[in-house]
Structure 1
Amino acid sequence: MLYISLRQYEYVCAVGRHGSLSAAAQYLNVSQPALSTALTRVEAHLGYPLFIRRRGSAMALTPQGRKFIDQAETLLKDAAQIEASETPSPGTTRLRLGCFTDLAPFLLAPALHHLRDAFPNIAITYFAASFEGLLNRLIDGQIDVAITYELTMDAGFTRAKLFDSRPKALMPPDHPLATAGTVSLADLAAQPLILSTEGLSAQHILSLFRRNGLHPTVAHKAASIEIQRSLAAHGEGIGISYTSPLNPVSYDNKRLVSVPISDQDATESVVLARHGTGPADATIDQVERLLLASLKGGLGATFCEGE
């Protein structure tokens, strides 16, 4: 038995296209209360919301709503083709993977390799971006799942931990702290620091110091990991980074040492995240299970050692 009619599918798609009940009702030439009632019944049957209602702004699609409308539009198109005695054309399956910029050199290529081996019939694209860029694209539906740190994610995101990452202090071999097995935030507080220009990354590092009553000085904000490593290798300050290549030499052939930071509250989780807390698409669910298995294993261990 079909619980959702083609007319109801059409109503939901119209609301998604026009962004409001009033505009969709005008387009369909139906009353707004009838449209609202149909939408409420569809959401009640599905058991999850298709739209986020915000007073004074357009109705925004939830991730489940976006997926529902994609499938509903395909269904409506196929129904129209059947009525016209045309043969429906198959849809295209795709996956859009996101990865935080600093994690991408370590995890993106292996993740793509595993995904393409496991899902040869899926068209896979990727996007590397900052924290804000990934979160915005997850919310807007431009990417399906992202590999990133757990920073700034609220209850509207589903995430699964891949592994924990500890920050490292980067410095030249002749620095007084270079021979220490580990260093603490207190050890580093009196040193000039080299942080990332990524706003949330720098804020996070500074918040670790402040939580411990420490107020360090930032000497540089570097636009990339390698600029940070070069500045640290030349004695411009101590770099603090969660990502650090195994190679103990910077791009300009200067040696540097990477010393783990011992404070327990400095540990940060690398997660696999998607927007929404409802059921995942079956393909996305399979993708998540594969990435969790592969990145929690050898890849995650290698990354942690590299830091």
Structure 2
Amino acid sequence: MKGFSYKQLRYIAAVASAGSIAGASEKLNLSASSIREALSDAESKIGAQLFVRSRAKGMRPTPEGQRFLGFAEPLFEAHELFEKKAAGIAHTQEREITIGILANASPIIMPRLIAELDRRGAVARYRIAELDSEALVDAVRAGAHLVGLGFNDFLHPSLTFVSLFRAQLHIALPRNHRLAEARSLSLHELAEEPYIFLNFPGARAYYSGLFDHHRITPNTRFVVDSTEMARRLVEGGFGYATFNMSPVGKPAPADAMIRVPLETDYWSPTFGMFYEAASASLRQVREIESAARAAWL
């Protein structure tokens, strides 16, 4: 016996769904004779009637018809999956997306951005470079990275900047600190506490300016080159730090560090995405920008 074609199975499933050959014909935009011929051929091959015909209820599958359609269902599902995958072949070849990001912001920003890109089906291998502000801008301008993620300082006029959020200043304290439950804090309240100073490009001038603005000399005990080291020292109870980047959501009960908003009128930089204006039409740039906007705006 010659097998059944996928087209023939679709025709018969359409009859069951529509309840008539005329309905299936309209649904598939085919002649009724083509559908009638496919149904007749199938019934001849299996030697059983697939539908009961009545004026009141139209065409309903017989027990044999129900079994027939049940056997066909996995084929329909497999075909639908095949269609989706085949349609995406041109887009799902592994691409390398190059993203430069401010080093201290990377652990907070990248997981959220990549999660949004993956949710949108952006299949890629990510090359992520963690740099200081000036090096990041230079790398994007030189074409070493497709886009950059950082603050709106050190920007060159040739770059397009997409604002994502304001980086609000806060105090990082050990969870068991006496002020950990405060709704907000001023630098004056911590003036005598041991301070952990971030000493890398961008942060060095920014946080020095913060204390100068409030006319306070911090009790600096540690000078560190990364936010990770500062966070570990805070968690260990060795002092407090000032940050302007924080994870989304409330801290987990097990977190050893608490973030408390800082009472200040000192300026807060804007964090965002930037790229060469000439790259605005590139599909990868549009994908990243769209995902970033969805994640933060």
Are residues 1:280 and 2:280 paired?
yes
User: Which residue of structure 1 aligns with residue 232 of structure 2?
Assistant: 230
Distance 1:130 1:200 in 2: 7
Comparing 119-128 and 144-153, the one that deviates more: 119-128
The structural deviation recorded for 1:171 is 2.0
Match for 2:144: what amino acid?
A: Q
Deviation at 1:204, TM superposition (A): 0.7
- Provide the residue aligned with 2:161 in structure 1: 159
Whether the 8 Å contact between 2:273 and 2:289 is mirrored in structure 1 is no
Secondary structure (helix, strand or coil) at the match of 2:149 reads strand
Who wins on radius of gyration, i.e. which is larger? 2
Amino acid at match of 2:291: L
Separation (CA, whole Å) in 1 of partners of 2:257 and 2:126: 37
Alpha-carbon separation, structure 2, partners of 1:294 and 1:172: 33
Question: Residue in 2 aligned with 1:215?
Answer: 217
Cα distance in 1 for partners of 2:116, 2:267 equals 30
Distance 1:122 1:256 in 2: 34
After superposition, the C-alpha distances for 1:254-295 in whole angstroms (9 at most, x for unaligned) are x333211121434332111124x4572332552354134222
Name the aligned partner's letter for residue 290 of structure 1. Answer: S
1:219-275 Cα deviation digits (max 9, x unpaired): 21234434212322333221112234534656xxxx333211121434332111124
The 1:94–1:256 alpha-carbon spacing in structure 2 relative to 1, beyond 3 Å, is closer
For residues 155 and 270 of structure 2, the distance between their equivalents in structure 1, rounded to whole angstroms, comes to 12
Query: Where in structure 2 are the equivalents of 1:158-197 lying within 5 Å?
Result: 158-197=160-199
CA distance in 2, matches of 1:205, 1:237: 16
Tell me the CA shift for residue 144 of structure 1.
Answer: 1.3
In structure 2, do the counterparts of structure 1 residues 172 and 114 end up closer, same or farther at CA, with 3 Å as the change threshold?
Answer: closer
Change beyond 3 A, Cα 1:188–1:278: farther
- Alignment partner, residue 113 of structure 2: 111
In the TM superposition, residue 182 of structure 1 has moved relative to its aligned partner by: 0.4
Q: Distance in 2 between matches of 1:122 and 1:230?
A: 32
Unaligned runs of 5+ in 2: 1-93
Paired residues for 1:55-204 under 5 Å: 95-116=97-118, 118=120, 120=122, 124-204=126-206
Counterpart amino acid of 1:270?
Answer: F
* 1:106-153 CA-partner distances (Å, limit 9, x unpaired): 221332343355464766533222323312211221001112122332
**For residues 25-65 of structure 1, what are the alpha-carbon distances to aligned partners after superposition, in whole Å with 9 as ceiling and x for unaligned?**
xxxxxxxxxxxxxxxxxxxxxxxxxxxxxxxxxxxxxxxxx
Within the alignment, does 1:270 sit opposite 2:271 as a pair? yes
Root-mean-square deviation (CA), in Å?
A: 3.1
Q: Is the 8 A contact 2:152 2:271 kept in 1?
A: yes
Distance in 1 of aligned mates of 2:194 and 2:158 = 37
- 1: CA distance between counterparts of 2:279 and 2:228? 40
Report the CA distance between 1:159 and its aligned residue: 0.8
- Would the aligned equivalents of 1:197 and 1:222 in 2 still touch at CA under 8 Å? yes
Letter matched to residue 282 of structure 1:
L
| Equivalent residue number for residue 207 of structure 2 | 205
| Structure 2 partner of 1:258 | 259
Which structure 2 residues correspond to residues 4-83 of structure 1 after superposition, within 5 A?
none
The amino acid of 2:283's aligned partner reads T
| Deviations, residues 173-204 of structure 1 (Å, cap 9, x unaligned) | 45343332101233344433212232311221
Change over 3 Å in CA distance of 1:235–1:95 after alignment to 2: closer
Name which of structure 1's ranges 233-242 and 139-148 shifts more when overlaid on structure 2.
Answer: 233-242
Letter in 2 for 1:95: I
Tell me if structure 2 keeps the 8 A contact 1:196–1:221: yes
Identity %: 18
Instruction: Provide the secondary structure at the position in 2 that maps to 1:215.
Output: coil
Count of residue pairs the alignment pairs up: 202
Q: TM-score, normalised by structure 2?
A: 0.57
Distance 2:257 2:285 in 1: 41
Contact 1:172 1:234 in 2 (8 A): yes
Distance 1:200 1:249, change over 3 A: farther
Matched-pair contact (CA < 8 Å) for 2:174–2:236 = yes
SS at match of 1:179: coil
Question: Which position in structure 2 is the counterpart of 1:79?
Answer: none
CA distance in structure 2 between the aligned counterparts of 1:201 and 1:137, rounded to whole angstroms:
19
Q: Give the distance between the partners of 1:202 and 1:190, measured in 2 at CA.
A: 20
1:248/1:264 Cα in 2 relative to 1: closer, same or farther (>3 Å)? farther
